[in-house]
Amino acid sequence: MSALPFRIGFGEDAHRLEAGRPLVLGGVPVPHAELGAVAHSDGDAVLHAVADALLSGLALGDIGQYFPDTAAEWAGMDSRVIVARALELVRERGYAPGNVAVVVTLDRPKLGPLRADIARSVAALLSLPESEVGVSFKTSEGLAPAHVQTRVTALLVRAGEG
């Protein structure tokens, strides 16, 4: 058991984008996306980074260990299942998410109109108020137009603290 009342987790994810595939970020389908994620699962780069942030905060490894992308059973899976599992592991160790910060780097489409939807969706998955989920959007400035990149930090709070 950790001696620390608070622990910080960091997660990162990226997917290549292709025409004819859906784009889902934070559990929210992105309308009018010309390109979607190439992935074994639903390719939700926000939720993959959220799950890795939860796991890394308690040194529990990464989602590849729990959901190997070679396993047929996870093909096309809803990434909300991955976050739920990571959250369960965090809670088993006596911690809960405090707040999370999400950064999404994507050139197109502009995600600003989805900011509240993504924050609400991620907050609901983590049983947090929407105000505890920060969502920032960046572009690659044309360096990686067929690519989505995400970074997430998560504060984990031990039960009885805060």
Q: In the complex, which residues of this chain contact Zn ion (CB under 5 A)?
A: 13, 48
Separation between Cα atoms, residue 140 and residue 103, nearest integer Å: 12
User: Which is nearer to Zn ion, 146 or 157 (by Cβ)?
Assistant: 146
Q: Is 123 annotated as a binding residue?
A: no
Record the tokens describing residue 150, joined without a space: 């995400």
Nearer to Zn ion, 84 or 157 (CB): 84
The secondary structure of the chain in percent helix, strand, coil, rounded to multiples of 5, reads 30, 30, 40
49 is in an annotated binding site: no
- Is 32 annotated as belonging to a binding site? no
Distance CA 35, CA 49 (A): 20
Q: How far apart are the first and last CA of the chain?
A: 18
| CB of 36 vs Zn ion, minimal distance in Å | 13
Query: Which residue is closest to Zn ion by CB?
Result: 48
Q: Which is nearer to Zn ion, 45 or 58 (CB)?
A: 45
